[in-house]
Amino acid sequence: MAFKLLQRLRIGSRKEFNAEAQPAEPEAKPPWWRGLRRQVAADALPTEPESSPVQKVAVIEGRNYLFGLEWRLIPPTRALVRTLSLAKKEGKVHYIISEMEDIIGLGSRLPKLRGVKYSAALHLASKFSQGGLELYAFVLADQQVAVVALNESRPIPGFDFLGDAEQARSLIEEFLAIQMGQPIRQVGNAGLLEGEETVAPEDLFAAPARSARIKNLPGGAGMQLLMGVGLLVAGGLAGGWYWLDMQRQQVLEENSRLNQPPPDVLYRRSLALAMEALQPAGPQPLQAWVAVAAKLPLVHAGWRLVRVECKLQSCTAQWDRLYGSFSDFMKELPPHALTAEEVQIKNSPLQASILSKHRVEWPSNLLRMEPAQLPGMREGLRQMSDHLQDLSLLGEMKAEMDKPSLFGGEGDVAQLSDPVFQGQWSFTHELGVLMHVQVPAHAVAGTLEINFFSERGEPVQEIKIKGAYYVRADR
């Protein structure tokens, strides 16, 4: 796995547009344009990487979605015109660029398809990403499996894939190994992701993001025109070009505004998808986590239980060595353990840990939140605050509760008829209060962490719970 990661990094570095060879020495005084041509030749790209992503198109809900684009970071000092010019020289024929213009997806020629093509990765990043690390895996109608990974709402190079299930499973395992120990949001319907947020691809890809539309790279004449405009700007016509560009942007924005549905309609659509992706509300998920943790022994085969962390349908237990060996632990895993992995600390095999993963079975009658059933903001805040205040009577406690902000979309709250708001809550308390914790019906418990020993190895009995609450605007 480490070899694959190093190979990916080497390939990624070769994909950067960084060839800056010096122009050949002229034999005699050349005309000014010959020097320009030599400079352009000196900017040629390096040779094609040994392995490039395989590009495929999937038709979802009548839309053409492209997978397998070659994603590259754009250096902040490089002009977009030059980036497109270098891509053209490399043989690329179409591209897509992020709204921040900091990452570009490039592709080669595809079979002719009727209709517009969209980047699946950038569509997910634009419309459904919640930030941080995210992994999507879907089984499509033709049994092909799509895998897309995002980081801070940007596609991750090498993880934009459409192919058979075996390749998809290998790619998922590689990503999870690279990001081991990091919180990852996992979404899909393929059953390849542990504790995934189950969402049908038809729901996510029904309305493509406009920013995900694939564009063709300008041809030779078009590229020369772009470079010529760049030279004119450099020669003193920046003001005129800026004015023309502003006029063009105003026309595009006006056309987009006229074609857009009302803000409230757009918000209701995105809110419905966001609510569907939420994990179950109320106390049941927390109770299921506690049931799994309660069955774990404090010592197993010479290894002591240090920490248990639960989220979604999985709990991870950390075991530190007392006197046992790895083999002792692996002979018989703790109750309900699916897998176990050895972790050696620094260079000493005597200082080691084991991470065991345990599946959490949720009850069938889970509570799902509906916007119409949520309390108003004032009442919802009071209910959440009351419970945290009651828990503080049971001992020393640290608690936080953020002010709620608009959930499920963007826009002016004043233009929305019935918006939903989300706020974060968390607290740290003694282990003994766990049986008294109640998660209200308008809240979800995101993670549960139980600590039996501190980072320095001192005995503790502490719980940390983090989650979110949801409310409607007061009428």
Residue 2 has pLDDT above 50, yes or no: no
Nearest to 362 by CA among 297, 279, 440, 424: 279
Return the H-helix or E-strand segment holding 400. Answer: strand 398-401
- The answer to whether the CB of 137 falls within 8 A of the CB of 172 is yes
With H, G, I as helix, E, B as strand and everything else as coil, classify residue 305.
strand
User: What's the pLDDT score for residue 150?
Assistant: 93
User: What's the pLDDT score for residue 252?
Assistant: 58
Residue 263 has pLDDT above 50, yes or no: yes
Sequence spans of domains, the chain: 2-216, 284-472
Determine the average pLDDT of the residues in 262-282. 86
CB-count exposure of residue 236 (10 Å: 0-12, 13-18, 19+): exposed
Q: What angle do CA 252, 253, 258 make, to 5 degrees?
A: 100
Distance CA 350, CA 94 (A): 54
Classify the C-alpha dihedral 360-362-367-371 as positive or negative.
positive
With the CA atoms of 166, 167, 172 and 177 taken in that order, what torsion angle do they form, in degrees rounded to the nearest 10?
A: 100
Residue 220 has pLDDT above 60, yes or no: no
With H, G, I as helix, E, B as strand and everything else as coil, classify residue 88.
helix
Token pair recorded at residue 16: 């950067």
Return the H-helix or E-strand segment holding 443. Answer: strand 443-453
Residues 305-328 pLDDT 10s: 999 999 988 999 999 999 999 999
Percent of the chain whose predicted confidence (pLDDT) is above 70: 79
Residue 462's CB: how many other CB atoms inside 10 A?
Answer: 15
Distance CA 215, CA 97 (A): 9
According to DSSP, residue 15 is labeled H
Residues 40-78 pLDDT 10s: 333 333 334 444 578 889 999 888 999 999 998 887 767
Residues 84-140 pLDDT 10s: 888 888 888 899 988 777 889 998 877 677 788 999 999 999 888 888 899 999 998
**Position 223 confidence tier, pLDDT thresholds 50, 70, 90:** very low
- The answer to whether the CB of 139 falls within 8 A of the CB of 58 is no
Tokens 């895998």 locate to 147
Residues 134-161 pLDDT 10s: 999 999 877 899 999 999 889 999 999 9
